[in-house]
């Protein structure tokens, strides 16, 4: 009855456009609980647009864009979602998340000052960028460089502003893929925020998320739910497979299968391989944690959470624990979701590879609860 009065659907779908696959999760909200309604995945390698021979066979050529649109259509056909609009993510790589420190000032002046600051980080014209910001902290009696104090009250409050920006063309592009016959575009956000929502949620601690996909890795430092650092690296599982193939002198296909198997390539003295991409990710993670603890003497990282398809790699937890000298957890974004027993086993196996899609669907639930 209440649902009827509210006049809106309690079903929410999130769609993650990864480079290996498109993943979707549909959730519903009933009796203050979140239920898994359905999920789906389309492997981009098996779509016609990724395979030149298949294109020849069907006598049609697909661009990369058409391929993604086709993939979403197939996904929705299989899932038959009840949700009427879909939340979509933009790869962390395509956006900017940064914290800027400045003096407090009235809102209208602040907007202008932030635009000015943003120019330092964004080389392209601001007209082409969609930008949002939020004051996340106010600090009394800040000591700012003299230049910034001139003409202002030396005792002004310093503020920390979280600035988020992404190119408008990417926002439009990702939105367009999901806008199909029965589906509207809901919210569009950087996948960084979807990951944080799915893996950290309301947890008040400080965490480092390491999400390793196929072609991209996101390292995110979250302090009490707020993104403090977001580092995107242009490499991922792809490079792990290549490293295994090269070291063992085998094909990439064989290396991919071995990588997903039970052999530990990372920790056994006799069988460990050098995997440069993982060493690089670990050194970046270490650098980010180091910088954070220098800046925030009292704060410490409560845990490192692994996510993305690569988080399932045998021995990865132990590997990072050794290199980062901290406790590592493989993120399980499904903990807070109710699912039928049969589905639960399946989704727990999928684990972290659905974090982004789940985080997007959870955004729908959070907004629903607020209304
Ligand atoms: N059991 C496993 N062990 C090791 N790697 C795995 C395993 N399962 C999947 N992977 C790797 O995970 C990667 C895909 O991860 P994911 O689905 O998170 O990527 P994506 O979101 O499509 O890509 P991206 O975010 O990089 O655009 C692939 O490199 C795949 O080889
Ligand atoms: Mg991904």
pLDDT tens digits for 89-134? 999 888 999 999 888 888 889 888 988 888 888 877 878 899 899 9
Q: Is 216 in the pocket of ligand 1 (CB under 6 A)?
A: yes
Between 329 and 241, residue with greater pLDDT: 241
How far apart are the CA of 216 and the centre of ligand 1, in A?
Answer: 9
Give the pLDDT mean for 285-292.
Answer: 95
How far apart are the CA of 66 and the centre of ligand 1, in A?
Answer: 22
User: What was the pLDDT predicted at 8?
Assistant: 66
Does any domain span residue 221? no
Q: What is the CATH number of the domain that holds 237?
A: 3.30.420.40
Domain limits for position 141: 94-167
- Same domain flag for 58 and 126: no
Does any domain span residue 238? yes
Between 239 and 330, residue with greater pLDDT: 239
- Same domain flag for 335 and 314: no
- Same domain flag for 234 and 128: no
**Sign, Cα dihedral of 360, 362, 363, 368:** positive
User: What was the pLDDT predicted at 2?
Assistant: 44
- Same domain flag for 136 and 32: no
Give the pLDDT mean for 269-284.
Answer: 94
Give the pLDDT mean for 156-173.
Answer: 90
User: What was the pLDDT predicted at 149?
Assistant: 47
- Same domain flag for 89 and 191: yes
- Same domain flag for 21 and 80: yes
Q: How far apart are CA 89 and CA 72, in angstroms?
A: 13
How far apart are the CA of 262 and the centre of ligand 1, in A?
Answer: 16
How far apart are the CA of 213 and the centre of ligand 1, in A?
Answer: 4
- Under 8 Å CB-to-CB from 254, ≥6 apart: which residues? 245
Q: How far apart are CA 257 and CA 301, in angstroms?
A: 34
Q: Determine if the pTM surpasses 0.85.
A: yes
Between 67 and 90, residue with greater pLDDT: 90
Integer CA distances (angstroms), 350 to 284, 334, 363, in order:
26, 10, 20
Question: Of 9-23, 48-62, 221-235, 309-323, where does mean pLDDT reach its minimum?
Answer: 48-62
- Same domain flag for 148 and 293: no
Between 97 and 142, residue with greater pLDDT: 97
Say yes or no to pLDDT of 153 above 60.
no
- Same domain flag for 114 and 257: no
Integer CA distances (angstroms), 332 to 109, 191, 229, 365, in order:
43, 17, 22, 18
Does any domain span residue 126? yes
Q: Is 313 in the pocket of ligand 1 (CB under 6 A)?
A: yes
Q: Is 350 in the pocket of ligand 1 (CB under 6 A)?
A: no
Say yes or no to pLDDT of 79 above 60.
yes
Between 276 and 268, residue with greater pLDDT: 276
Which of 237, 245, 263 for mutating ligand 1's site (highest number of atoms within 8 Å of CB)? 237
Considering its fold, how many domains does the chain have in total? 3
User: What was the pLDDT predicted at 221?
Assistant: 96
Helix axes of 276-295 and 237-248: crossing angle, nearest 10 degrees: 140
Say yes or no to pLDDT of 208 above 50.
yes
Between 56 and 232, residue with greater pLDDT: 232
């Amino acid at each position: 009855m209440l649902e009827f009065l509210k006049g809106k659907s309690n079903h929410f779908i999130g769609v993650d456009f990864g480079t290996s696959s498109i993943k979707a999760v549909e959730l519903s909200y009933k009796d203050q609980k979140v239920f898994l309604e359905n999920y789906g995945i389309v492997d981009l390698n098996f779509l016609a647009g990724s395979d030149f021979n298949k294109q020849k066979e069907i006598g049609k050529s697909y661009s990369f864009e058409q391929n993604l649109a086709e993939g979403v259509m197939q996904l929705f056909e299989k899932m038959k979602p009840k949700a009427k609009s879909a939340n979509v993510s933009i790869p962390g790589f395509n956006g900017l998340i940064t914290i800027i420190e400045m003096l407090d000032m009235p809102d209208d002046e602040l907007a202008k000052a932030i635009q000015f600051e943003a120019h330092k980080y964004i080389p392209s014209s601001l007209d082409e960028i969609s930008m949002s910001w939020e004051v996340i902290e106010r600090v009394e009696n800040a000591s700012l460089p003299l230049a910034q104090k001139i003409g202002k009250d030396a005792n002004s409050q310093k503020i920390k502003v979280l600035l988020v920006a992404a190119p408008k063309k990417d926002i439009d592009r990702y939105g367009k893929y999901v806008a199909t016959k029965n589906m509207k575009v809901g919210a569009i956000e950087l996948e960084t925020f979807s990951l944080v929502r799915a893996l950290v949620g309301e947890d008040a601690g400080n965490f480092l998320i390491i999400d390793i996909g196929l072609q991209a890795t996101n390292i995110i430092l979250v302090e009490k739910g707020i993104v403090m650092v977001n580092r995107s690296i242009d490499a991922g599982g792809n490079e792990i497979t290549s490293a295994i193939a090269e070291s063992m002198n085998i094909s990439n296909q064989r290396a991919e299968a071995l990588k997903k198997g039970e052999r530990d390539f990372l920790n056994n003295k006799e069988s460990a391989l050098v995997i440069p991409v993982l060493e690089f990710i670990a050194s970046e993670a270490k650098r980010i944690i180091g910088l954070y603890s220098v800046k925030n003497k009292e704060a410490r990282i409560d845990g490192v959470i692994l996510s993305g398809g690569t988080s399932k790699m045998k021995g990865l937890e132990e590997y990072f624990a050794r290199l980062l000298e901290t406790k590592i957890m493989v993120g399980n974004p499904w903990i807070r979701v109710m699912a039928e027993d049969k589905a639960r086993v399946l989704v727990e196996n999928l684990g972290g590879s659905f974090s982004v899609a789940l985080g997007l669907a959870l955004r729908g639930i959070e907004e629903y609860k607020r209304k």
